[in-house]
């Protein structure tokens, strides 16, 4: 089911963006990176392309008050959930359906923040669900939009939301402002753990690039894509909030909320830092290949659930989301972390994406190879399908090949072991792999394995300098394979 939302509006502007904006402005200004952009300010003197430079003049009004005080500046306690405030951008029309995504991760009374709606909710949304974030109706910025003849009023409203969420919570010990969409799923514990490693009194602009190379090219390689969620430290959020009206006046010709946000942040002297655990998911189709080879970084967000196939083939989108979140309640630190080990007597390779999937290959494969996702998915825009590279990472072919195609298992259930010192995740076979056995591995078919039990310590794994290792326990002929995760030995090779 596809519903209109700001997110899909964002997407529409991809095509509009190229068409109208470029026509009015210098390509150099828009499509080269920030370095070129800055260089162009000094080097480029084409009198026919003056608009960007005139617009920059607005930035003469320096911030009135430097960062004067923050309540939490002397609070040296480690960062916890109470220090984060979320601003989610949604539309009234899509909320009835989309709230299922947000309620899967939102913790009522513990998570702080608001959903910003375009209009007052109608009766069918009332009384407002206690499991949803409280809502606010976005400020009416019609006057500003009209004055500046902003080309994309909806985008201006979204950017303005950053100021609105900040002003609502400024004086309550906020350390980080997290912005997301109405179809972004956040993994709160991991976000807290990642942010706790940074000094919130410094200026940070965290986010994620698109997986699809051309999206980054069309918008910017230097911006955080809004659906993945972007995160601003307190002083940056404050500076941006104070500069907001001026910022919207400087860039009335930009049609993308994320691009306007980036332009304004960069004007404040801060640059974008991508984080590998945030995911825009500018992909379509079956993304299980990507989720089975997640980078070794804590999973922080997922997005675009209505654009991709359900994460589990036997469930719908909302059931899939809830199913995935069940595992994340047991151990977020290991969520989607890829652990690889070999069963030498059968020449099998096990690749586990914790809490999601297990793959068995019928030959020995090195870790370096399995880190590349199998290309089960399609590009965001099929118009450009022929032109490779499409993605910001290497992929493996999804060809139907007895040595390359894994036996696929998805999470079925999760619980604690009886001794309560381990988590036990059970994965069951997804489909029968209708292929002969792999000759390169010595013809040891894994067709009869239908269940895999993965044991892992119940302790959170926060030091991510190295992956975990594992051991496979399986007797030839048994339908069940057991795998135990553990720290790697000092010189252990995963190959
Ligand atoms: C923070 O601590 C410094 C010195 O330790 C002190 O001068 C300052 O007043 C304190 N600020 C607040 C807001 O408590
Ligand atoms: C979070 O940190 C604050 C201090 O900034 C502290 O008062 C509060 O108890 C902490 N909350 C939790 C759940 O640890
Ligand atoms: C927003 O403000 C404009 C004038 O600035 C007004 O005409 C319009 O009715 C307002 N819209 C809403 C929904 O209040
Ligand atoms: C893969 O190949 C086998 C025969 O070798 C065939 O039965 C099966 O349908 C193929 N699967 C796909 C997805 O093409
Ligand atoms: C595993 O594969 C290697 C390399 O192909 C082969 O030499 C070896 O005999 C195989 N082992 C078994 C038990 O099939």
Q: Which ligand lies nearest the alpha carbon of 398?
A: 4
Model pLDDT, residue 385: 60
Average pLDDT rounded to a whole number, residues 147-158: 96
* CB-CB contact of 49 with 22 (8 Å): no
Which atom of ligand 1 has the smallest separation from the CA of 69? 13
Percent of all residues in the chain with a pLDDT value above 90, rounded to a whole number: 81
What does the mean pLDDT of the chain come to?
A: 88
Residue nearest (by alpha carbon) to ligand 3 atom 12: 140
Model pLDDT, residue 171: 80
Exposed e or buried b for every residue in 194-228, given b needs 16+ CB within 10 A?
bbeebebeebbbbbbbbbbbbbbebbbbbbbbbbb
Task: Give tens-digit pLDDT for 155-191.
Answer: 999 999 999 999 998 888 999 999 999 999 999 999 9
Model pLDDT, residue 5: 47
Model pLDDT, residue 352: 98
With a 6 A CB cut-off, is 416 part of the ligand 2 pocket? no
pLDDT band at 434 (very low <50, low <70, confident <90, very high): very high
Residue nearest (by alpha carbon) to ligand 5 atom 9: 442
Model pLDDT, residue 47: 36
Model pLDDT, residue 19: 39
Model confidence at 216: pLDDT above 70: yes
Model pLDDT, residue 161: 97
* CB-CB contact of 402 with 445 (8 Å): no
Closest alpha carbon to 332 in 486, 196, 187, 185: 187
Virtual CA dihedral for 90, 95, 98, 101, nearest 10 degrees? 80
Average pLDDT rounded to a whole number, residues 117-134: 96
Mutate to test the pocket of ligand 3, among 120, 140, 147, 160 (most ligand atoms within 8 A of CB): 140
Q: Distance from CA of residue 332 to its chain's centroid?
A: 15
Query: Cα Rg for the chain, rounded, in angstroms?
Result: 24
Model pLDDT, residue 75: 79
Model pLDDT, residue 39: 39
Model confidence at 116: pLDDT above 90: yes
Nearby residues of 119 by Cβ (< 8 Å), 6 or more positions away: 92, 137
Task: Give tens-digit pLDDT for 313-330.
Answer: 999 999 999 999 999 999
Model confidence at 37: pLDDT above 60: no
Model pLDDT, residue 170: 83
Which atom of ligand 3 has the smallest separation from the CA of 143? 5
Distance from C-alpha of 395 to C-alpha of 388, rounded to nearest angstrom: 11
pLDDT band at 35 (very low <50, low <70, confident <90, very high): very low
* CB-CB contact of 484 with 421 (8 Å): no
Model pLDDT, residue 384: 60
Q: How far is the CA of 376 from the centre of ligand 5 (A)?
A: 29
Average pLDDT rounded to a whole number, residues 275-280: 98
Question: Hunting for tokens 């926060």 — which residue is that?
Answer: 462
Q: How far is the CA of 143 from the centre of ligand 3 (A)?
A: 8
Q: Name the β-bridge partners of 471.
A: 484
Task: Give tens-digit pLDDT for 343-397.
Answer: 999 999 999 999 999 999 999 999 999 999 999 999 998 776 668 899 999 999 9
The residue count of the chain comes to 495
Model pLDDT, residue 397: 95
Tokens of 44: 């480029």
Closest alpha carbon to 269 in 68, 87, 62: 62
Model confidence at 50: pLDDT above 80: no
Model confidence at 2: pLDDT above 90: no
Q: How far is the CA of 495 from the centre of ligand 5 (A)?
A: 14
With a 6 A CB cut-off, is 73 part of the ligand 1 pocket? yes
Distance from C-alpha of 264 to C-alpha of 59, rounded to nearest angstrom: 10
Average pLDDT rounded to a whole number, residues 300-321: 97
Tokens of 43: 């080097």
With a 6 A CB cut-off, is 434 part of the ligand 4 pocket? yes
Which atom of ligand 5 has the smallest separation from the CA of 441? 2
Virtual CA dihedral for 369, 375, 380, 384, nearest 10 degrees? 90
Q: Which ligand lies nearest the alpha carbon of 144?
A: 3
């Amino acid at each position: 089911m596809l519903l209109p939302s700001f997110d899909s509006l964002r997407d529409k502007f991809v095509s509009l963006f190229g068409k109208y904006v470029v026509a009015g402005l210098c390509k150099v200004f828009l499509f080269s990176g920030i370095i070129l952009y800055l260089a162009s300010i000094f080097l480029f003197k084409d009198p026919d392309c003056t608009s960007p430079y005139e617009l920059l003049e607005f930035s003469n009004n320096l911030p009135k008050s430097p960062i004067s005080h923050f309540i939490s500046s002397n609070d040296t306690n480690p960062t916890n959930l109470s220090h984060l405030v979320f601003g989610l951008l949604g539309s009234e029309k899509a909320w009835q359906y989309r709230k299922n995504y947000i309620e899967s991760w939102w913790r009522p009374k513990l998570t702080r923040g608001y959903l910003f709606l375009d209009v007052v909710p109608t009766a069918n949304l009332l009384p407002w669900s206690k499991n949803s974030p409280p809502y606010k109706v976005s400020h009416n910025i019609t006057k500003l939009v009209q004055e500046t003849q902003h080309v994309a009023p909806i985008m201006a409203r979204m950017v303005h939301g950053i100021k609105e969420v900040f002003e609502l919570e400024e004086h309550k010990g906020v350390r980080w402002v997290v912005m997301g969409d109405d179809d972004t799923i956040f993994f709160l514990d991991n976000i807290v753990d990642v942010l706790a490693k940074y000094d919130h009194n410094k200026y940070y602009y965290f986010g994620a690039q698109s997986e699809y190379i051309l999206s980054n090219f069309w918008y910017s390689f230097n911006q955080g894509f809004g659906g993945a969620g972007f995160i601003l430290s307190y002083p940056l959020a404050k500076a941006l909030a104070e500069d907001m009206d001026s910022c919207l006046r400087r860039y009335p010709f930009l049609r993308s909320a994320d691009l306007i946000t980036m332009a304004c942040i960069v004007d404040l002297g801060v640059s974008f830092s991508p984080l590998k655990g945030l995911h825009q998911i500018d992909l379509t189709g079956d993304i299980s290949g990507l989720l089975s080879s997640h980078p070794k970084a804590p999973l922080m967000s997922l997005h675009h659930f209505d654009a991709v196939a359900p994460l589990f083939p036997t469930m719908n989108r909302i059931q899939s989301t809830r199913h995935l979140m069940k595992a994340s309640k047991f151990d977020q630190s290991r969520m989607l972390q890829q652990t690889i080990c070999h069963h030498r007597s059968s020449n099998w390779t096990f690749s586990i994406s914790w809490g999601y999937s297990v793959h068995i290959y019928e030959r020995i494969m090195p870790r370096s190879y399995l880190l590349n996702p199998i290309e089960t998915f399609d590009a965001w825009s099929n118009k450009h399908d022929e032109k490779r590279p499409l993605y910001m990472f290497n992929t493996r072919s999804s060809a139907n090949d007895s040595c390359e195609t894994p036996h696929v298992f998805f999470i079925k259930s999760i619980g604690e072991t009886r001794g309560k010192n381990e988590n036990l995740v059970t994965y069951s076979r997804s489909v029968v792999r209708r292929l002969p056995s792999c000759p390169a591995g010595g013809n040891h078919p894994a067709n009869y394995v239908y269940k895999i039990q993965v044991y892992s310590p119940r302790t959170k794994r926060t030091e991510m300098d190295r992956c975990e290792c594992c051991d496979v326990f399986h007797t030839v002929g048994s339908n069940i394979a057991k795998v135990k995760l553990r720290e790697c030995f000092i010189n252990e090779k995963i190959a």
